């Protein structure tokens, strides 16, 4: 009974934390982050984050034991957080709204295009 009461109190406490809007991410911020990652400290941090991502993926799959779902989810979340950090450094590539990327964005359309191309 005490565990349930404690869980309710923790839930109410966490719900009282208000969500704040994220600050605007500007081109200058992306350039500064890119510049940091191109430096010596940034390179070490990037390699460290990559190694940590690999370690989490290994823990989430090969060493999970009975808590496979939790560890795999944690590893996926960790990888997602690193991907978000990487995306903050990216400059917008597409300047022309009619530009088509080199990679397919719609798998079914690409498959149909390949089928028409090869099977006529």
Both tokens of 87, joined, read: 């995306």
Q: pTM higher than 0.85 for the full model?
A: no
- How many Å apart are CA 76 and CA 81, to the nearest integer? 9
pLDDT above 70 covers a percentage of the chain that reads 75
Res. 18 pLDDT band, cuts 50 70 90: low
Q: pLDDT at position 95, please?
A: 54
For the stretch 37-95, pLDDT in tens is: 888 898 888 889 888 888 888 877 777 677 788 888 888 888 888 888 888 887 655 55
Count of other CB atoms within 10 angstroms of residue 71: 20
Whether residue 50 contacts residue 81, with contact meaning beta carbons closer than 8 Å, is answered with no
- How many Å apart are CA 70 and CA 78, to the nearest integer? 12
Q: What is the CA radius of gyration of the chain?
A: 22
């Amino acid at each position: 009974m005490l565990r349930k009461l404690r869980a309710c109190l923790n839930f109410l406490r966490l719900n009282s934390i208000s969500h704040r809007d994220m600050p605007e991410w500007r081109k200058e911020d992306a350039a500064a982050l890119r510049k940091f990652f191109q430096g010596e400290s940034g390179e070490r941090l990037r390699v460290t984050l990559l190694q940590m991502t690999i370690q989490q993926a290994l823990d989430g799959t090969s060493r999970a034991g009975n808590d496979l779902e939790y560890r795999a989810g944690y590893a996926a979340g960790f990888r997602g957080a690193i991907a978000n950090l990487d995306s903050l450094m990216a400059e917008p590539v597409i300047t022309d709204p009619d530009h088509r990327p080199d990679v397919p964005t719609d798998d079914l359309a690409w498959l149909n295009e390949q089928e028409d191309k090869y099977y006529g």
